[in-house]
Amino acid sequence: MMESISGDEFEISNEQESTAQDEKIFVAVRVRPLNGKEIAKGLIMGKLHSFSDTSDWECVNTTTIVFKNNPSERSTYPSAYTFDRVYGCDSSTKQVYEEGVKGIALSVLNGINSSIFAYGQTSSGKTYTMSGITDYAIADIYDYISRQIDREFTLKFSAIEIYNECVRDLLSHDGAQLRLLDDPEKGIVVEKLTEANLRDCNHLKELISVCEAERQIGETKLNEMSSRSHQILRLMVESSACEYEGSDSGRTLAASVNFVDLAGSERASQTLAAGTRLKEGSHINRSLLTLGTVIRKLSKGGYSHIPYRNSKLTRILQNSLGGNARTAIVCTMSPAHSHVEQSRNTLLFASCAKDVSTNAQVNLVISDKALVKQLQQELARLANELKTFHVSNDSTSLIKQMKLKLEKMEKEIEELTQQRDLAESRLDHLIRVTGTDPNSLPWVDPSQEITISPGDSYNDQSIEKTSRIANNNIIKVSEDSSNDNRNIDGTSSIGYNSTSNSENSHKEDQNIEKKLCIGKSITIKETRVDDSYESLKENTKDIQIMVEQSPCSSDSEISDSEGICLTRSKSCNEFTMNASYEKEIIAESTDNNGPETGNQDDYIQTIPKSKSEADVKTIDQQNSGIPVMDLDEKELEQKINSSDEVDVSDELSRFDPELVKKTVPKANEFIEPEENWFMAFEKQRREIIKLWHECNTPLIHRTYFFLLFKGDKSDSVYMEVELRRLSFLKNAPSRVTSARALNRERIMLSKKLLKKFSSTQREILFRKWGIPLDSRQRRVQLSRLVWTKTNDIDHIKESAEIVAKLVGMVELNQTPKELFGLSFLPKTDHFKTSFCRGTISFT
């Protein structure tokens, strides 16, 4: 729970936070007084009509504004509009700030991002209102900070303007256009933006004056000092508890508050803008139109596409509008009759904004939580891999293979842990901000939660838990006899005998016999004193691989004379029997297809006989971290196709209820095998994972696919595409090799070609062709000429001859096109231009 920050004058309570989840954007409307011109106009009109005609709007109470004139228009437009607050002509900016905006602006002190906007037509009072609000907020923030003795604050300030769709740093004088970047953590960030470290309140005010001076301002008919750009001032506040005795050990709060003064919408007919002003006006209107569309779509809710990317403004404000920030919008308007249409538009915008809730935050939480879960699963998978090496028959390469694999996994785990931690911290923050109850979120399945602590990713209990099942996939190694336990049959053994972090009750099941069948079976028992990753690594260094042969005849074994032979130890059997397991599945290692079938992704799972809650719970705990789909295919198929009373949905439900809905038929419904998407999906999923390993697919790419791995049938096309892509990639190395050979051949030919000619000949030629005289570049260019003609080795020689002919016959009066019979364009600009213009001649 966030700590409450309270001061004498204000208090940001937990109550405010807890309502954040369903909080709407705070929308206020402020009507400015008629200005001199409008009054004058009114007076002129007043002679004809009445003075009051110039003021069309009236704030009837603190929340409602009504249109009071022109009955004929009432029929098509609403006459009354209600908002969180409305402020009439006589209200002060202080009032606007105090009654609503203040609470949101000062959220920043509680570590909650916030944004305050001013929106309205040109000359309606946006800058007037925003500058006042900014001043009051800054004063309050510094006042609050000065009274905190137990927290240290660091404040930073940055400022940008968006002028004609270009982002500029208002604290930098170079006027350079800045780029917007998508940061997975921070959202949209402005590249190379100055962030000034603030000394005190006066320093901040100084910088704000600099921004005012830097901002694009121009004169229009409606406003002598019209802002021609959108301005965003950002104040970043970071605080942590001071470290002194008895202090709350320094929780850091960091957030920022944006003060956004938008440029005003305008009509060229009213502003009489031309030239630069007109161009500015059209950019302003266009970006405000996008802002309006975004607000309208957000107000409708649902999952329709929100066109944030259609303007720089909406991209930058994305988080404030639909993300993780508290937001207040002050819509300013003129009461003058001459601006009635613009005022109506402003009120319509405000009405839409009123309906925009911060539900989007929950969506963010959902996606983040999903990401964390996926990363956890991936972590668990990697942890399993640590103990389930796929072993080739070549025992001498085993250790190398293991070491490499371990190193790779170590890196992957580290990377994943970092990613997960980042996602988790972001999620925590979002949950905190939105006040979302994590348990109420749809993805949360406590039985599948994995508790892998950061920095301890390969040595903790959770990994032990998940790896326990995977231990059935056996490393086929023998070992130095000094290091082992001898089995009764005299074969060497290395046992998994974890004594490090695991509970005593877990020890037994980690004692696993491992067997390798190479022609004949080899029984190896592995005794590992320390189950940690480090020790496993250590062991792999010391173990000397020896393959012993023994008949593969034990009852407890499921073996194959050609493939990998896997068995469970007695202790393991005992464990599973105690857990009332119906069957121990030895995955595909029993398949006759040889070692390939026993790949590392073939996790082994057990299915409980009893469906009592206790048993299911036990299994869930055991299976935590095993990817959701890792049911044994054959067993599942049997169950689905069998006509007995086995309720498959019951078995599946502990994995993924959504999936069960999709894959398991209603009672007595017959499943066509070919319609069994689940089976097909699971097969594809395994295939993809296998190919990922083979193609060394980067982890970041793999993580995108976890969403697909939920098993949604509509994702099948993506699965297929990925499969095809990977299959192609798998063969890519050979293509690359042949392409390289081809290139080498081409370069050699080019070199040879060059040697044939005298230096004078070459120079004439190169000058004519615009080929650089620098030797390296020249070679490249000439090679390129050869390449344009040739696509394979066989054609190179032929092509080289043509080039040679060309080079040798400088008097030849032919265009390159005629010579080569194709329209190649070497990339030298000069050559390209000359060629296109037909000015190259060889005479």
Ligand X SMILES: Nc1ncnc2c1ncn2[C@@H]1O[C@H](COP(=O)(O)OP(=O)(O)OP(=O)(O)O)[C@@H](O)[C@H]1O
Question: Where do contacts with ligand X occur on this chain (CB under 6 A)?
Answer: 32-33, 35, 120, 122-128, 223, 225-227, 263-264, 332
Closest approach, Cβ 412 to ligand X, in A, equals 53
Q: Which is nearer to ligand X, 346 or 589 (CB)?
A: 346
Q: What is the 3-state secondary structure of 73-91?
A: HHCCCCCEEECCEEECCCC
Residue type, 294: V
Closest approach, Cβ 224 to ligand X, in A, equals 7
- Residue 367 to residue 323: CA distance in whole angstroms: 13
The DSSP string of 358-411 is THHHHHHHHHHHHHHHHHHHHHHHHHHHHH-----S-HHHHHHHHHHHHHHHHH
Q: Which is nearer to ligand X, 30 or 784 (CB)?
A: 30
Q: Which is nearer to ligand X, 33 or 772 (CB)?
A: 33
Q: Which is nearer to ligand X, 90 or 243 (CB)?
A: 90
Buried b (16+ CB within 10 A) or exposed e, 589-617: bbbeeebebbbbbbbbbbbbeeeeeeebe
Q: Which is nearer to ligand X, 92 or 451 (CB)?
A: 92
- Residue 423 to residue 373: CA distance in whole angstroms: 10
Residue type, 337: H
The packing angle between helices 359-387 and 533-542, to 10°, is: 30
Buried b (16+ CB within 10 A) or exposed e, 646-668: eebeebbebbbeebbeebbeeee
Closest approach, Cβ 347 to ligand X, in A, equals 15
Query: According to the annotation, is 124 in a ligand binding site?
Result: yes
Query: According to the annotation, is 120 in a ligand binding site?
Result: yes
Task: Provide CB contacts within 8 A for 513, sequence distance 6+.
Answer: 474, 487, 493, 495, 523, 524, 525, 526, 567, 568, 569
Q: Which is nearer to ligand X, 269 or 714 (CB)?
A: 269
Pairing of the two strands 520-528 and 492-496: parallel
Query: According to the annotation, is 123 in a ligand binding site?
Result: yes
CA distances from 52 to 70, 87, 551 (A): 12, 19, 107
Query: According to the annotation, is 172 in a ligand binding site?
Result: no
Closest approach, Cβ 92 to ligand X, in A, equals 8
Closest approach, Cβ 281 to ligand X, in A, equals 10
CA distances from 19 to 10, 153, 425, 433 (A): 18, 27, 21, 10
Q: Which is nearer to ligand X, 94 or 403 (CB)?
A: 94
Closest approach, Cβ 231 to ligand X, in A, equals 10
Closest approach, Cβ 227 to ligand X, in A, equals 3
109, 239 contact by CB (below 8 A): yes
Closest approach, Cβ 315 to ligand X, in A, equals 21
Six-digit token string for 426? 């972001």
Query: According to the annotation, is 121 in a ligand binding site?
Result: yes
Task: Provide CB contacts within 8 A for 525, sequence distance 6+.
Answer: 484, 485, 487, 491, 492, 493, 494, 495, 513, 514, 569
Closest approach, Cβ 292 to ligand X, in A, equals 16
In 3D space, the residue among 29, 13, 19 whose CA is nearest the CA of residue 84 turns out to be: 29
Q: Which is nearer to ligand X, 223 or 781 (CB)?
A: 223
Query: According to the annotation, is 209 in a ligand binding site?
Result: no
Q: Which is nearer to ligand X, 133 or 375 (CB)?
A: 133
396, 444 contact by CB (below 8 A): no
Closest approach, Cβ 125 to ligand X, in A, equals 3
Closest approach, Cβ 284 to ligand X, in A, equals 8
- DSSP state letter for 10: -
In 3D space, the residue among 686, 683, 685, 626 whose CA is nearest the CA of residue 654 turns out to be: 626
Query: According to the annotation, is 125 in a ligand binding site?
Result: yes
- Residue 553 to residue 551: CA distance in whole angstroms: 6
Q: Which is nearer to ligand X, 123 or 478 (CB)?
A: 123
Query: According to the annotation, is 127 in a ligand binding site?
Result: yes
Strand ranges in 563-652 using DSSP code E only, listed in sequence order: 566-567, 581-583, 607-608
Q: Which is nearer to ligand X, 226 or 697 (CB)?
A: 226
Six-digit token string for 528? 């590992």
45, 53 contact by CB (below 8 A): yes
Q: Which is nearer to ligand X, 218 or 770 (CB)?
A: 218
Task: Provide CB contacts within 8 A for 565, sequence distance 6+.
Answer: 515, 516, 517, 521, 552, 557, 558, 559, 589
Residue with tokens 């096109």: 817
678, 663 contact by CB (below 8 A): yes
Closest approach, Cβ 126 to ligand X, in A, equals 4
Q: Which residues are annotated as a binding site for ATP?
A: 120-127
Q: Which residues are annotated as a binding site?
A: 120-127
